[in-house]
Amino acid sequence: MNLLRDAEDQSQSFFTRILSFLSRILLAIGIPAIAFFVLYQGFLFLRDSDAPRGIIALVAIIWGVGGVAILYWIFNDLVERLPDAWTTRLLPFVFVGPAMAILAWYLAIPTVRTFWLSLFDRNGPPEGLNLLQQLASDAFVGLSNYSFLTDFSQENLMLQAFRNNLMWIVFGSTFSVAFGLVIAVLADRSRMEKVTKSLIFLPMAISFVGASIIWNFIYEFRPAGQPQVGLLNAFVTSLGGTPQAWPQWVAVAPWNNLFLIVIVVWLQAGFAMVLFSAALKGIPEELLEAGRIDGANEFQIFFRIMIPYIQGTLISVWTTIVIFTLKIFDVVWVMTGGQFGTHVIATQFYRQSFTNSNSGFGSAIAIVLLIAVIPVMYYNLKQFREQEAF
């Protein structure tokens, strides 16, 4: 082991420590920065050229992928030319530095920056001032962007978004998990297992925008008397009902959200099914056999043996779909644009941040989303610590 993970030299001088710290930072930021610069130059070149689209796409792909790969190679070569002690100190940062720098830029630091933005009015903190001056400026509004959290009036669209998102989370995850589980259990006993699973799984490959079109076509509405080309309305009218524009059916609000939630159940049940199916196959046959010999019927076996056995998978699939529905955006945005009482947190975030360009309010909504996933983050970290494999 020591061979691979060379222990840090304990007798480093203060100067060496500072120097190695600085060079590590430099490597971590330098590689992505140079990569960025090289790619950017390529882009300027591509943007100004008149080559056919296909050629540009191809060049862009080669340029982007090749550029990054070559950069690692060059930096590794440079560091390997250093004295051995320095190679040992710096090489890990050639490997891990770019990943950390990019994660910091794109996810870690933005959480702080977004929180900072959420304390200011719609235009954000005034530019050209230092942090203290920004705090003292008129643009600083404290926590008032978060006032939607305590406003329970009917006009508060955020309240509606929270209610809808709660529906998404509750119904979306429950039905996806339930269908996934039922299909997994049934398919396990059927000779059509493979075909069944492929077909149920297929919607996973379809984009939300595509799925929205598919379901819009099912919900397609024509006034009564005209031929209905939407499947649902054709079905309803053939039974003597009146056609509806289902997701836009405000009379039943908030239940019209269910017509959107169905889409995500359709997409996600296959995901749940695949994971459950694998977990079910892990149950030892003897366990099920023992249950049957003791006279348990299939339902008892399902609830008393299978469910407890796959509990871990059940929880992780459930939380995954909960997080997924928490951030749901595309379906609502394409289907209704948030009208007809269907706004959710992510569509409100988009509307405030980009349509209304109110960065303060939008950022506050994003922070609320972040707070909502903190329990899951905590659970993940706890799991990670318990594994203790690191």
70 near another protein, judged by CB under 8 A = no
With CB under 8 A as the contact rule, which of the stretches 128-136, 142-150, 165-173, 187-195 interacts with another protein?
Answer: 187-195
Helix, strand and coil content of the chain, in percent to the nearest 5, comes to 75, 0, 25
108 near another protein, judged by CB under 8 A = yes
369 near another protein, judged by CB under 8 A = yes
**Residue 144 or 190 having the CB closest to another protein:** 190
Of 29, 34, 60, 139, which lies in the binding site for another protein, with binding defined by CB under 8 A? Answer: 60
Build a one-symbol-per-residue string for 130-169: x at contacts with another protein by CB under 8 A, - elsewhere.
Answer: ----------------------------------------
Hey, what are 239's tokens?
């039974």
Task: Name which of 57, 47, 39 is nearest 98 in CA terms.
Answer: 39
Residues 265-304 touching another protein, rule: CB under 8 A, are 266, 269-271, 274-275, 278, 298
- 210 close to 359: Cβ distance less than 8 angstroms: no
Residues 298-317 touching another protein, rule: CB under 8 A, are 298, 316
Build a one-symbol-per-residue string for 202-241: x at contacts with another protein by CB under 8 A, - elsewhere.
Answer: xxxxxxxxx-xxxxxxx-x------xxxxx--x-------
Q: Shortest Cβ distance from residue 304 to another protein (Å)? A: 19
**Using CA atoms, how far apart are residues 370 and 112, in angstroms rounded to an integer?**
11
Q: Shortest Cβ distance from residue 153 to another protein (Å)? A: 25
Q: Shortest Cβ distance from residue 16 to another protein (Å)? A: 13
At 140 the three-state DSSP class reads strand
- 101 close to 69: Cβ distance less than 8 angstroms: no
Hey, what are 6's tokens?
């060379």
Radius of gyration (C-alpha) of the chain in whole angstroms: 28
With CB under 8 A as the contact rule, which of the stretches 113-121, 133-141, 284-292, 304-312 interacts with another protein?
Answer: 113-121
- 340 close to 250: Cβ distance less than 8 angstroms: yes
**Using CA atoms, how far apart are residues 25 and 23, in angstroms rounded to an integer?**
5
